Amino acid sequence: MRKSTKQATREAILAAARTVLASDGPEALSLSKVANLAGINRGTAYQHFETREDLIKATVAWVSEHLSTKVFGSYVDQDGNLEAIKQRPVYEVIAGLVDFAVENPTLGRIWLYDVLSSDNPSEDLFFRQFKQTTAQLAQSKYSQDNIDVEVLSVIMLAGYFLWPEWVTAHAKTDDERQNMTARMRREVLRLFLHGVLRADEFPQLESLLASEFEKG
């Protein structure tokens, strides 16, 4: 089914907003600039978003929905519940998060700060799913004892979305950027395997970690 003109216009505005945010940061975002980039008049943009804050809020929601689909999309049942932890490949979740964060450093940072400063972060779709899957893991036979789900969730998400700031500042070439992305994947897997999981339950991850370190 074809999208309505209204929906297509809204998506064009949001796509333009993501472009501006990614290239120039939130300080440079304005409805006029976004409307010009989207190829529509400013009045039309204001019909969809009254303020730049509304536009940023909608962008944060897009990031959350995109992460949900990218990281957990294949593992959500018909009722919207996440499947058992054993059915979700740990490394795929790690790699999906690291890759998105490095490819979208500004968007990821905006999303992270919005969630961390929220009065109710669990209203955010992806944070809720991330915390839920962490809780499932903590309550399963596959994890170490006495995990603080909230603390672990915040620590892990902060690591995922702040590492790209380091990459942006220190990677001078595409090869360096790719190498730093791979390093983050490996280190998160190592920390997860030996600080969160019961490693003997995941021998395949031990083998994967060893092979990843051999690659350098």
Determine phi and psi for 77, rounding to 5 degrees: -80, -175
- Domain identity same for 80 and 177: yes
Average pLDDT score over residue span 175-182: 95
Q: Are residues 107 and 192 in the same domain?
A: yes
Cα separation, 210 vs 26, whole angstroms = 40
The CATH number of residue 176's host domain is 1.10.357
**Do 64 and 28 sit in the same domain of this protein?**
no
185 and 120 co-located in one domain: yes
Whether residues 46 and 63 share a domain: the answer is no
Q: How far apart are the first and last CA of the chain?
A: 47
**Domain of residue 30, residue span:** 1-50
Residues 168 and 194 in one domain: yes
Task: Specify the pLDDT at position 153.
Answer: 95
Number of domains in the chain: 2
**Average pLDDT along the chain:** 87
Instruction: Looking at the structure, tell me whether residues 14 and 41 fall in a common domain.
Output: yes
For the cut 60, the answer to whether the pLDDT of residue 33 exceeds it is yes
Tell me the two tokens of residue 121.
């972060």
Q: Give pLDDT, residue 88.
A: 53
Same domain, 21 and 74: no
Determine contact, residues 15/66, Cβ cutoff 8 Å.
no
- Encode pLDDT of 47-86 as tens digits: 999 998 999 999 999 999 999 988 887 666 555 555 555 5
One domain, residues 96 and 5: no
Residue 79, pLDDT score: 53
Whether residues 72 and 25 share a domain: the answer is no
Q: Which letter does DSSP use for residue 97 in this model?
A: H
Closest to 97 measured CA to CA, from 135, 66, 62, 125? 66
Q: What tokens were used for 68?
A: 């949900």
CA quadruple 22, 25, 31, 36: dihedral, nearest 10: -50
Contacts of 131 (CB under 8 A, 6+ apart): 122, 149, 150, 153
Q: Do residues 151 and 199 share a domain?
A: yes
- On whether both 90 and 17 belong to a single domain, the answer is no
Q: Which of 50, 69, 85 is the last residue of a domain?
A: 50
CATH classification at residue 34: 1.10.10.60
Where does residue 38 rank: exposed (0-12), middle (13-18), buried (19+ CB within 10 A)?
Answer: buried
**What are the tens digits of pLDDT across the range 108-133?**
999 999 999 999 999 999 999 899 88
